[in-house]
């Protein structure tokens, strides 16, 4: 266990606690927020909130627990690898695969697979359950993810995500026909006050922006390209439902009916572009629509 004390200077005054600690200790904001939730960060010996604005001369105490033994088992699961070097791994995740272990899914995840593939060459920034995981996509969303093989790569990739400079383009099939050929959905997303396991467009939620473009209009559905400016939980699914065009197969944010018989939402992370954390070279990857998409379009 490591205990760190930081005194707030005049230059730091007014900054959010989680942002300040993230920059000061080179930790991701999500990691800092987890430390706060676990009461490992205090201000003047009192519990603090992530959103608290810090003041000059306050003393922030940060306890970083010892790394836990990772009891997640490495599994020899075949990966669709699009690119790999000493710093990053770019994979095409199939639909139905969970990204990292959680209650009810401790095996068969992307983390189980990359642990077997990368051995000990994974970043530790997001904790023992999510080694190397910089960003996620839902279990039933297929497509491209970048994995960090060391902490330096993780910090730099996470910074691109935070600054919205990472290019992320999705393709979805939504119900009905959109009125406009292209548009922007700018609506804040937070926890659904009535159903805490769901997200929703809520007043006071976190800023969320999705750009969409119609690719093809079908009889009772539309193929759309979606570009994420922000990356909130279930953002595309929530935003498309919010404008009256939920994703086909999405029984959580849709009508609950699934007349096409597909399991989970018709959503594919098609394009991912980022600046390499070491070479500073821009890299962009694309993956074709999966077979299930093709079958659904044929229907």
Q: Which residues are catalytic?
A: 138
Strand partners, 63: 3
Count of residues in the chain: 299
Q: Report the side by side order of strands in the sheet with 46-47.
A: 2-7, 59-64, 41-43, 46-47
Per-residue CA distances from 159 to 30, 114, 166 (Å)? 12, 22, 9
**Residues 136-170: b if buried by 16+ CB within 10 A, e if exposed:** bbbbbbbbbbbbbbbeebbbbbbbbbeeeebbbbb
How far apart, in whole angstroms, are the C-alpha atoms of residue 259 and residue 261?
A: 6
| The three-state (H, E, C) secondary structure of 110-168, written as one string | HHHHHHHHHCCCCCCCCCCCCCCECCCCCCCCEEEEEEECCHHHHHHHHHHHHCCCCEE
Residue 269 near residue 144, CB atoms below 8 Å: yes
Per-residue CA distances from 282 to 153, 166, 170, 273, 285 (Å)? 14, 10, 19, 7, 10
**Residue linked to tokens 């791994």:** 89
Residue 140 near residue 263, CB atoms below 8 Å: yes
């Amino acid at each position: 266990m490591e205990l760190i004390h930081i005194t707030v200077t005049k230059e730091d005054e007014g900054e959010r606690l989680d942002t300040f600690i993230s920059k000061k200790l080179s930790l991701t904001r999500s990691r800092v927020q987890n430390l706060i939730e676990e009461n490992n960060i205090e201000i003047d010996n009192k519990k603090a909130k992530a959103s608290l604005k810090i003041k000059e001369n306050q003393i922030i105490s940060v306890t970083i627990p010892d790394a836990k033994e990772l009891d997640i088992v490495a599994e020899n699961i075949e990966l669709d690898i699009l690119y790999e070097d000493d710093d990053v791994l770019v994979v095409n995740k199939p639909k139905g695969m969970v990204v990292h272990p959680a209650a009810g899914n401790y095996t068969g995840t992307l983390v189980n697979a990359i642990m077997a593939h990368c051995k000990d060459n994974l970043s530790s920034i997001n904790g023992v359950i999510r080694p190397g995981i910089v960003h996620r996509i839902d279990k039933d969303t297929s497509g491209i993810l970048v994995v960090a093989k060391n902490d330096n790569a993780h910090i730099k990739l996470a910074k691109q995500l935070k600054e919205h400079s990472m290019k992320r383009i999705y393709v979805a099939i939504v119900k009905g026909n959109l009125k406009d050929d292209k548009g922007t959905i700018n609506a804040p997303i937070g926890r659904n006050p009535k159903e805490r396991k769901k997200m929703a467009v809520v007043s006071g939620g976190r800023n969320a922006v999705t750009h969409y473009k119609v690719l093809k209009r079908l009889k009772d559905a539309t193929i759309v390209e979606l570009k994420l400016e922000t990356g909130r939980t279930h953002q595309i699914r929530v935003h498309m439902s919010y404008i009256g065009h939920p994703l086909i197969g999405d029984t959580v944010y849709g009508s609950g009916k699934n007349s096409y018989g597909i399991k989970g939402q018709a959503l594919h992370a098609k394009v991912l572009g980022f600046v390499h954390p070491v070479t500073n070279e821009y890299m962009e990857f694309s993956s074709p629509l999966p077979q299930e998409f093709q079958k659904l379009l044929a229907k």
